[in-house]
Structure 1
Amino acid sequence: MAGSGPARITACTVVTADRRAVADVLAGSYRAHHPGHGFTTLVADDAEVPGELGLDPDEYHRLVTSHAGADLVDVLRPLLVRTLLDRYDVVVLLDPDVEVHAPFEDVCVLAAERGIVVTAALLEPLPQDGLEPEHVPGVFDGFLAAGPAARPFLDHWAGQARRRPPHRTEPTWRWPDLLAGVFAHHVVRNPGLAVGYWNLHERPLAELKFFAFRGYDPETPWLLTTDCGHRPRVRLSADPALRDLCESYGERVAREAEDVEAPYEKLPDGTPLTTQMRQLYHDTWSRAERFRHTSDPLGRIAGELPPHPFGDDGGRAFRRWLAEPASPLDAATGLTRLAAAVWLARVDLQAVFPHPRGASRDGFRRWCATHGIEEGLVPEWAVPTEPPPPVAPVDGFGVNVAGYLTAELGLGEMARVVQRAIAAAGVPMVSVVEEHSLSGSVRTGLAAPADVGVPRFGVSLLTVNSDFTRLILDTHPDTGAGRYRIGLWAWELEDFPAAMHDGFALVDEIWTPSEFATRAIAAHSPVPVRTIPVPVPDPGEPAREPGPVTQFLFIFDFNSTGGRKNPWGVVEAFHRAFPGRDDVRLVLKATNGHLNTPAVERLRRVIGDDARIELQERYLTVTELGALYAGTDAYVSLHRSEGFGLTVAEAMVRGIPVIATDYSGTTEFFGPEHGWPVPYAMTDVGPGWPPYQPEGRWADPDLDAAAEAMRSVADDRDEARRRGQAARAHILRTRSTDTAAAWMRERLAEAHQAWLADRRASASRRHPLVAGARRVLRPVRAAARRMGVTS
């Protein structure tokens, strides 16, 4: 600016339509003392805003759907300043409830060179006298002078304000908090600037340049501010000059005031746009936009932006969006998106209706249809609906298989293994895919089965553990209603915890992948628990040529807990086995590390800078996984416990010898003839590894014995290959698909017959003649029992 003439300065403010009067008083007083300056008042909820700020109309309508009142003003203030900087050298932003009493152009001009100029809210610390206010931030947030160098700050402020959730219960948000030490700024300590209720004890009115009437209401002219209603430090009754200043300001505001209806407080059909609607819309919009133009870590793209209510359709799409279910579980239970948001926002509703998608859904539906409508929280068109009636099963033989059938995690893989055996058995099957209840970061990229459909058979196999059985039945009620239910459960400790026992009431029998898991669950179960012969598919004769480097492999999922899988034990055993050797290599193939950062960091610390150890943290294709197995000389699993140990079995069927903890499910198909069992001592689980109870017990493998086994593989490759061939032969003989298929068909047929018998018995009990006969016979039988006669 030096040498180019006086700075072009404009002032501005942002206000909602209902507060236009205070902005008019500000504008008039500012122009009176700065005749060469411009002044812009932006009415935040005015239809002209998109054109004035260069916003896309849809973008603006999303903003006014998410934000109202002071929140909307916060969002638009940095946008206005940034826009005006295209035409002026300095832009001064003032709160609308400010009145100017003297010029301060010298302060404004500083921004041309300094970039950001702000004013001090206090010149001295507040007195510790117990009076209000007790705390005031150091910079007044109702004044900002911005020059060209302020653009990075304005961009940052605009982004933060836009992402900030609509006002809930947190303290008033202040833009000076964003300055901190990141953006250079100049603080002016002038006693005539930023005068208000917070600093009147230290500011003489005789030096006043502008006064902020924050919290002053002309309707209650006896109060300086509604922000200090109990023990105000400054009282109007004690200062006639201050009282006259406030009353004069109130009269000017009253003269300018007009009755204005806020244009974006209602939907086009007249329905109030409630706080819950705004919060729900903002949260959904933010999530959708976060990944709209980039893939998330799993390669998926977020869905479409939610519709706003101020488009050409009169808000119909927005109302449909609020009234539709947000998930398959909500669809199955009739819960609307808005009703779910209202429940989530109200602690009292959560206490009275703890399960709005389950046991409490009828009560919550009635509350929405009565109190929800009366309180203006749930419009009639967004009241939860009655869930559709369950689809009646057919009489024919078959099974519905429900679970995480497309997810790359242990439960999903075991479900797919069982599905393949059922298909091999020739049993008709319908697949029910559940994905919604999974964490958004769990990969569900596998192709859905070809037989996905509506559950139509009388037997359902629920391939989720006890703690998720209720959820899958609520989400997909047709899998449970009137069906014989089989739970495919796994558990990895010797004791099945009481927290898991609720699932017993939801199933008719339980399948587990090992005798180890069966013993743990059966000790508490009121229903039969059966061990399935888990099949291990044969990938074909392995083609593997020994290389100069001996490669060890361990595959695991961090979601199955690092504590149980114990990858750091594998690394420590490797280090003990091969100090200084460069003819060995260890590959750790892991998934879901992004959900378990502490466990990943612990593993990386144990690995250190050992270039012989590779940690692969990505999903592999079938071809890539096959190549990884083909280059492996021994598989190492120093687990603390396994319900079955599928990766151990998959290594064995490929002819790979195994080094594994000699405990739990793996011992049922693995022994010294197939590799090197590692001895162990029992130890407490300890805290930090849910869902396993801290007082539970699991194995602590002997790492020195594991290291010795690893040296045996590296030093005697021929013996390792011999044990690998024995492992393959053993798995093919004992874990064939044919054996599993025969077992599945027989057990499913028995379940189907039990279901048919129960259905016939139920029909008989409901038949009017049978029911009448029972009513007649009941007193006769009671009399007979009294006489000692039995039948």
Structure 2
Amino acid sequence: MAHHPDGEFFTLVIDGRSEDRRLHGLGAVLLVEDLPLTPEVRSEMAMMYDVMEFATALKPAALLHLHHLGALTATYLDPDIRVYADLRDVFESAASAGMALTPHMLRPYPDDDLRLQPSDVMHSGMYNLGFLSTGPAAIRFLAWWCERLKTDAVVDLQQALFTDQRWMDWSTSFERPAILHDPGLNVAYWNLHERRVVEVEGGFEVNGGPLRFFHFSGYDPLTPWLLSKHMLDRPRPLLSEMPGLRTLADAYGAELVEQRHTELRTKRYRLDRLPDGSLLNPYERRLYRDAVLGRDARIGAPPDLVAEPYGLRPWLDEPLPAREGLPPITRTEFALWRTRPDLVAAFPEPFGAHAESFASWLLHDPHSPSHARPRPLGMPRHSDAGLSRAGWSVAAYARAELGVGGAGRRVAKLVAHSGIPSELVGYTGTSLSRQAHAPWRAVADRARYNHTILCVNADQTPSAIHDLGLPKANGALVGYWFWELESFPAHYRRAMDMVDEIWVSSEFNRRSISELSDTPVRLVPLPMRAPSPPTALRRQDLGLPEDRFVFLVNFDYLSVMKRKNPLGALRAYLAAFGPDDGACLVIKSINGEYRRGERERVRLAATGRPDVVLLEDYVTASEMAAMIEVSDAYVSLHRSEGYGLNIADAFALGTPVIATAYSGNMDFCDSGNTLLVPASKVPVGPGAEPYDATSPWAEPDLDVASSHMRRLFDDRSIGEDLVARGRERAAHFSAERLGNELRPVLLDLMMGTMR
């Protein structure tokens, strides 16, 4: 409106009510009943579509309405578009050609694995319909498009449907729209590989010309380090590498906050619920759509929602016809089955041979994905005449460079020190981490012994048991598990029933899992590093500054960055030191390429501080140990740890530790060997999957952490005292001592399975 004061502005509120017409700042407010759609069609569309589908499905009807009001041109703009310059020539193109469109991009994508990919555009359509300008000559096409979108504005990639957009690909065959190639139009995350946004006096330019409008699709002012949520963890445009774009996004985010967007967006979509107040699920919407289209005779005809506005829920809850003697299922239950490939595979005939088993599944937990493939609680015991019974196979991510892989290798060392014959068996599973670690002993491809310790977590236990053919005949099967919250997820019960015992590394884990498990849970601590000669590697070999006091943080992005909390350590450091104080924070990470959005957040937080060093590549195990050894302090401001391998390594390698006083590390951390950071309990919150957002974990006190950092820097004798006590503690957890303690446990398990 600022750039076109002579134009008229309309806002369509798709779940609006009559009182919404009085809303200010939106121009003229339109409601769905204003559009050229019958009441029956409006009701059907509102029920079959989710919020995004419904909004896009109404687009041609809204444009037709404006032309019926006499508009020479009617232009649609997504609500996440911001206009920066005059668009009069765009409107003139639409008036002349009938339609004006902007392609998603003007140049091909680079040949890489980052988002977007050509396949994304082929799924979503060649033209981005966050913007569309039309003239009177477009009415014929708009009418055809409007008809298609009455039922076919769904997201169904298998049917080549993506809301309203794929249909626009037909426009160049039916009409002759103006295809706009100005790079300043509809700039967005999907075309920044070809467009460079720079800040200039008085505004912004794109490729040397004015920025006309920017499409902030997927931008969230609460996650300002990420340009769009739609790029997931593989964003191609990175704000840390594009200062002009970052300035643009920050300014837009500030405007959103000023306009109370973060508050207003929490208001629920009114059409998510039926008139009776019940929630309408996505699979119920799909079933209703198929009923409207008459695509499945088993469903039957839907109710007339104009005549029966309260009729949809009773219809959905109504049992479908079933054979005599078999339990019936409702339309809602059938809708769930149809949209879940795992349920279709588990219960191919829900109205016949599998009716009872499907009904049983529904009764137990109709929404839990952990029970999507019901299997016997115990796995069949495989026989293998060639096995040697008198020994243990430790199956682990033997070569993987990740925490649970390191834990598995330590368990193998622990069992070896028990004196009982054993081996290390390699397992890869779905691990994305580099498989380049050279274990301390040979790695077997298959288990030779009857008895197995499976060092994969509960979520991977069923698939690992299947892949490795476990448990063996008359053999014991132990699961060595980690978990990082006080409550263990109930959907892992099935994995619990597959093992004879569950072993854990910390009392924190033992309490968490024991509360849920009928399977015995045993505390079996991990061995810490044995004393070794000082490393021959120097700081310069490892990328560390030689002339500064180095605080080291180390984490894996695949281990949930929010839990590891490197940003907390960074904030504490920045509060304690200026860039010229003589200190340095080194943040060592791996697998950031799989979590590019989170990595971007860390990079942006470190911008402008040369004393913060980001090391983002893999190093060998010996190099990582050397990095801990030559640093002046190791910092772990975690929100929760199942154990704390890096903290334990710092103890053994003689490096002072600052750590959160919470979770698994408290089995070996105390106020004598660690500068402990107190913490308060807070909910996990969003963005930390697979952890339940409502569960508690710790929020370390960053003021105390900052004070600890400064004390270590100012008084080196504090660190010397911590190192001495830390090494004493590490010696208590030697592989020799723990192996001797484990020997009778292993023998008892072996004898128990042979009785």
Q: Distance in 2 between matches of 1:176 and 1:435?
A: 49
Q: Distance in 1 between matches of 2:652 and 2:662?
A: 20
Contact 1:490–1:517 (CA<8 Å) still a contact in 2? yes
Q: Paired residue for 2:390?
A: 397
- State yes or no: 1:512 paired with 2:504: yes
| SS at structure 2 position matched to 1:125 | helix
Equivalent residue in structure 1 for 2:442, among 428, 447, 450: 450
| SS at structure 2 position matched to 1:603 | helix
Contact 1:430–1:453 (CA<8 Å) still a contact in 2? no
Point out where structure 2 has 5 or more consecutive residues left out of the alignment. 1-134, 150-156, 184-337, 355-379, 540-545
The aligned runs of 1:73-88 (5 Å cut-off) are none
Q: Paired residue for 1:525?
A: 517
Q: Paired residue for 1:437?
A: 430
Q: Distance in 2 between matches of 1:687 and 1:662?
A: 23
Q: Paired residue for 1:416?
A: 409
- Closer, same or farther: CA 709–587 of 1 in aligned 2, 3 Å: same
Contact 2:629–2:650 (CA<8 Å) still a contact in 1? no
Q: How far off its partner does 1:129 sit?
A: 9.0
Contact 2:384–2:472 (CA<8 Å) still a contact in 1? no
Q: Paired residue for 1:652?
A: 651
Q: Distance in 1 between matches of 2:142 and 2:344?
A: 44
| SS at structure 1 position matched to 2:572 | helix
Deviations 1:601-630 (A, max 9, x none): 222222221110111111112343244223
Q: Paired residue for 1:628?
A: 627
Deviations 1:254-312 (A, max 9, x none): xxxxxxxxxxxxxxxxxxxxxxxxxxxxxxxxxxxxxxxxxxxxxxxxxxxxxxxxxxx
Contact 1:533–1:739 (CA<8 Å) still a contact in 2? no
Contact 1:473–1:480 (CA<8 Å) still a contact in 2? no
Amino acid at match of 1:423: A
Deviations 1:532-560 (A, max 9, x none): 12101225144699965211111111111
Q: Distance in 2 between matches of 1:693 and 1:131?
A: 46
The aligned runs of 1:11-160 (5 Å cut-off) are 124-127=137-140
- Closer, same or farther: CA 519–728 of 1 in aligned 2, 3 Å: same
Q: Paired residue for 1:193?
A: none
Q: Distance in 2 between matches of 1:712 and 1:355?
A: 63
Q: How far off its partner does 1:396 sit?
A: 3.0
Contact 1:399–1:458 (CA<8 Å) still a contact in 2? yes
| SS at structure 1 position matched to 2:681 | strand
- Closer, same or farther: CA 614–484 of 1 in aligned 2, 3 Å: same
Q: How far off its partner does 1:462 sit?
A: 1.1
The aligned runs of 1:505-584 (5 Å cut-off) are 505-542=497-534, 548-584=547-583
Contact 1:391–1:456 (CA<8 Å) still a contact in 2? no
Contact 1:541–1:654 (CA<8 Å) still a contact in 2? no
Contact 1:532–1:743 (CA<8 Å) still a contact in 2? no
Q: Paired residue for 1:736?
A: 734
Amino acid at match of 1:409: L
Q: Paired residue for 2:743?
A: 745
Point out where structure 1 has 5 or more consecutive residues left out of the alignment. 1-121, 137-164, 185-345, 357-361, 364-386, 758-791
Q: How far off its partner does 1:645 sit?
A: 0.5
Deviations 1:150-189 (A, max 9, x none): xxxxxxxxxxxxxxx99977869779799955699xxxxx
Q: Distance in 2 between matches of 1:554 and 1:508?
A: 37
RMSD: 3.6
Q: Distance in 1 between matches of 2:145 and 2:534?
A: 80
Deviations 1:655-675 (A, max 9, x none): 111110111111111122213
Q: Paired residue for 2:486?
A: 494
Contact 1:662–1:678 (CA<8 Å) still a contact in 2? yes
- State yes or no: 1:428 paired with 2:441: no
Q: Paired residue for 2:707?
A: 708
Q: Distance in 2 between matches of 1:684 and 1:667?
A: 20
Amino acid at match of 1:432: V
Q: How far off its partner does 1:453 sit?
A: 3.9
- Closer, same or farther: CA 586–500 of 1 in aligned 2, 3 Å: same
Contact 1:393–1:482 (CA<8 Å) still a contact in 2? no
The aligned runs of 1:277-296 (5 Å cut-off) are none
Q: Distance in 1 between matches of 2:474 and 2:515?
A: 27
Amino acid at match of 1:618: D
Contact 2:429–2:464 (CA<8 Å) still a contact in 1? no
- Closer, same or farther: CA 580–748 of 1 in aligned 2, 3 Å: same
> Matched residues, percent identical?
32
Q: Distance in 1 between matches of 2:681 and 2:673?
A: 24
| SS at structure 1 position matched to 2:741 | helix
Q: Distance in 1 between matches of 2:515 and 2:142?
A: 67
Q: Distance in 2 between matches of 1:558 and 1:681?
A: 24
- Closer, same or farther: CA 679–470 of 1 in aligned 2, 3 Å: same
Q: Paired residue for 1:460?
A: 452
Further displaced range: 593-602 or 391-400? 391-400
Contact 1:569–1:638 (CA<8 Å) still a contact in 2? yes
| SS at structure 2 position matched to 1:353 | helix
Deviations 1:352-401 (A, max 9, x none): 32499xxxxx99xxxxxxxxxxxxxxxxxxxxxxx997524746311122
Aligned residues: 418
Deviations 1:217-275 (A, max 9, x none): xxxxxxxxxxxxxxxxxxxxxxxxxxxxxxxxxxxxxxxxxxxxxxxxxxxxxxxxxxx
Deviations 1:709-759 (A, max 9, x none): 101110011221232122112211x110101211332221111011111xx
Q: Distance in 2 between matches of 1:133 and 1:530?
A: 64
Amino acid at match of 2:424: S
Contact 1:542–1:655 (CA<8 Å) still a contact in 2? no
Q: How far off its partner does 1:683 sit?
A: 0.7
- Closer, same or farther: CA 131–664 of 1 in aligned 2, 3 Å: closer
Q: Distance in 2 between matches of 1:388 and 1:494?
A: 33
Amino acid at match of 2:718: E
Q: How far off its partner does 1:424 sit?
A: 2.7
Amino acid at match of 1:747: V
Q: How far off its partner does 1:595 sit?
A: 1.5
